[in-house]
Amino acid sequence: MSEPQTQGGSLSGAAAEPRIRVRGLGKNYGALEVFKNISFDVGNREIVAIVGPSGCGKTTLLRCIDGLLPHDTGEILVGDTRVTEPIAGVAMVFQHFGLFPWKTVSENVAYGLRMAGSPKAEIARKVPEFINLVGLAGFEEAFPYQMSGGMQQRCGLARALAVEPNVLLMDEPFAAVDAQTREILQFELLRIWQERPTAMVFVTHSIEEAVLLGHRVIVLKGRPSNIHETIVIDLPEPRTRDTLRLPRFAELRERVWSTLMREAREAEFVLER
């Protein structure tokens, strides 16, 4: 079994000029140092998946990149803009849907556009376009409580995509849906990404999902956490259901799994002492 590359390398999905640059990033909540010295780039057409144990700071990292949370050290650049507050062109899909329960699908999808100051006519044109794109046509007037988890997450995705972001931040978007729906949504996302590629940071607990979607997988570890390893996912594109059957897919999944498990065992060892 050939060793996957662990750093750099030429990437089919990455443009030469990175869209996101994270440099020496550190974040504390009071006395709690969540992560420190995190540095990575994401290309214009690249999906970087991030895995790591619960509580290692994945959501915090995405919120810092989104400009929703201030960071303590280092810097984040999106294009040429230093991130100190939310900026145009960056959209986030949240871990727990993040929809407004009192708004319909159409109103939820329109929300991001309204916030971005889009003219009414543009909103009226784009809302049905993106509802169609994620397969929610017919549910325009439904409220979140009337929809399954998978449908709610499609709505969250439509809301993020409608602003036509060049950076998409995904925080375990499929964690709260059943396994079958999750698989459907993963391939839907890949289809949409092929149509409208962006720089994407995709946080997940699922190693399979990280390897299927990512051009690189970043493994976070430790307390405070930092980047333990970056594994280049050299699988052919476009990724399809057939990708899951490739021997290389199994090798890479094993590689990420053993990296994470090594961490879990080390954590146990620390606890036992």
How do beta strands 90-93 and 199-203 pair? unpaired
Report helix, strand or coil for 103.
Answer: coil
Question: 180 contacts which partner out of Mg ion, ligand ATP, none, CB within 5 to 8 A by kind?
Answer: none
Give the C-alpha separation, 27 to 8, whole Å: 25
The stretch among 43-51, 53-61, 107-115, 194-202 that binds Mg ion (CB under 5 A) is 53-61
The tokens describing 71, both together, are: 């960071």
Give the C-alpha separation, 211 to 51, whole Å: 10
CB 222 within 8 A of CB 55: no
Say how many residues touch ligand ATP, by CB under 6 A: 10
Instruction: Kindly tell me which of 109 and 170 has the beta carbon lying closer to Mg ion.
Output: 170
102: contact with ligand ATP by CB under 6 A: no
2: contact with ligand ATP by CB under 6 A: no
Would you give the binding string for ligand ATP spanning residues 18-57, x where CB under 6 A is met? Answer: -----------x--x-x-------------------xxxx
Instruction: Kindly tell me which of 9 and 70 has the beta carbon lying closer to ligand ATP.
Output: 70
- Supply the Cα-derived Rg of the chain in whole angstroms: 19
Question: What is the nearest approach in angstroms of ligand ATP to the Cβ of residue 155?
Answer: 21
Nearest partner of 103 among 133, 129, 141, 139, judged by Cα = 141
Instruction: Kindly tell me which of 18 and 57 has the beta carbon lying closer to ligand ATP.
Output: 57
Question: 60 contacts which partner out of Mg ion, ligand ATP, none, CB within 5 to 8 A by kind?
Answer: ligand ATP
Q: What is the distance in angstroms between the CA of the first residue and the CA of the last residue of the chain?
A: 35
- Residues in contact with ligand ATP by CB under 6 A are 29, 32, 34, 54-60
